[in-house]
Amino acid sequence: MGRGIAELAATHGFEVLVHDNSREALEQAPRLIEVSLQQKLEKWAITEAEKRAIQNRIRYTLNIADLQDADLVMECITEDLAAKRELFRTLDQVCHKQTILASNTSTLSITEIAAATFRPDRCIGLHFMQPVTRTKMVEMVRGLKTSDETVRICTEWLRDLDRVGVEVYESPGYITTRLQAAMINDAANLVMEGVATPEAVDTAMRLGMHMEMGPLEMADRIGLDTLLVILDRLWHEYGDPRFRPSPLLRKLVRAGHTGVEAGQGFYRYDAEGNRIKEDRP
């Protein structure tokens, strides 16, 4: 997700600094961005010169202090409230007073995350969705103290990225995650119950409901481990049975089949994240 947002911003002319605590993840990021840009080049969506310009606008650092002059900082770490609050507390100390701190969380409370800072008025949720570089909508989630000025600035920034910001008031799962998680969970149950194969479920939704990808491939690209955390949280918040995680989903996560990053989820994937088509009898 972080790589996708970095690529999107750099494509639209913004200078981007990517930070990660993991040297391995940070070294992998430019290679994966290169793969994404190369695919666009091969489809004539960009030129070789544009590709180089985009790459030159992205820098990488292990030192969080390098973010001190950023106008906006987007965090895309794991869906863990304590971790996000600790990161926002650190960013509040590192960044200048006008920096907007944004979270890409899909379920957590922006109010609670922002409370770890001395600038809750300049904290906001910006929930990008996969695939980041193709999805035109971003949820802008207001915390209790998010200012109108912060919303205005983020709306204009998203417009510069050729994206539409949809304003949402804080509620577990917001709009998209609340609807999407329930659909994916039901799709997993259909497979578990033997009603249809994953391919049949996804084909029905792609062609019958005009979706770009089916719910189970979508789940693989979100990450089944991430999805399980989301469903558990929604199940806890709402007590609604539709959010009770499918046993099949739990089984896949326990087996390490967490989706694209692991190379296998409901489907198998190559190192570049492309579906491996399998012949079926």
Decide: 59 and 34 in contact? Cβ < 8 Å.
no
Residue with tokens 């993991």: 22
- Same-domain pairing of 188 and 165: no
Counting Cα atoms < 13 Å in the Cβ hemisphere of 217 gives: 20
Task: Collapse the DSSP code of 203 into the 3-class scheme (helix H, G, I; strand E, B; otherwise coil) and give the result.
Answer: helix
- Give the number of other Cβ atoms within 10 Å of residue 223's Cβ: 22
270 found inside a domain: no
- Same-domain pairing of 123 and 198: no
Residue where a domain stops, chosen among 169, 199, 219 = 169
Here the CATH number for the domain that contains residue 59 is: 3.40.50.720
Q: Which of 79, 145, 140 is nearest to 108 (CA)?
A: 79
Number of folded domains that form the chain: 2
- Same-domain pairing of 45 and 116: yes
- Same-domain pairing of 83 and 159: yes
25 found inside a domain: yes
280 found inside a domain: no
What is the pLDDT tens value at each position of the chain, 281 positions in all? 899 999 999 999 999 999 999 999 999 999 999 999 999 999 999 999 999 999 999 999 999 999 999 999 999 998 899 999 999 999 999 999 999 999 999 889 999 999 999 999 999 999 998 888 888 999 999 999 999 999 999 999 999 999 999 999 988 889 999 999 999 999 999 999 999 999 999 999 999 999 989 999 999 999 999 999 999 999 999 999 999 999 999 999 999 999 998 999 999 999 878 899 875 54
- Same-domain pairing of 9 and 72: yes
- Same-domain pairing of 102 and 207: no
- Same-domain pairing of 59 and 38: yes
Q: Which residues pair with 2 in a beta bridge?
A: none
Long-range contacts of 145-152 (CB under 8 A, 24+ apart): 145/111, 145/114, 145/120, 145/121, 146/110, 146/114, 146/120, 146/121, 146/122, 147/121, 147/122, 149/121, 150/100, 150/121, 150/122, 150/123, 150/124, 151/124
- Same-domain pairing of 185 and 165: no
- Same-domain pairing of 32 and 108: yes
139 found inside a domain: yes
Residue ranges making up the domain that contains 78: 2-169
* pTM exceeding 0.85: no
56 found inside a domain: yes
CA of residue 259 relative to chain centroid, distance: 14
Residue where a domain stops, chosen among 147, 169, 191 = 169
Element (H, E) at 199: helix 198-208
- Same-domain pairing of 123 and 79: yes
CA distance 158 to 164: 6
- Same-domain pairing of 195 and 236: yes
203 found inside a domain: yes
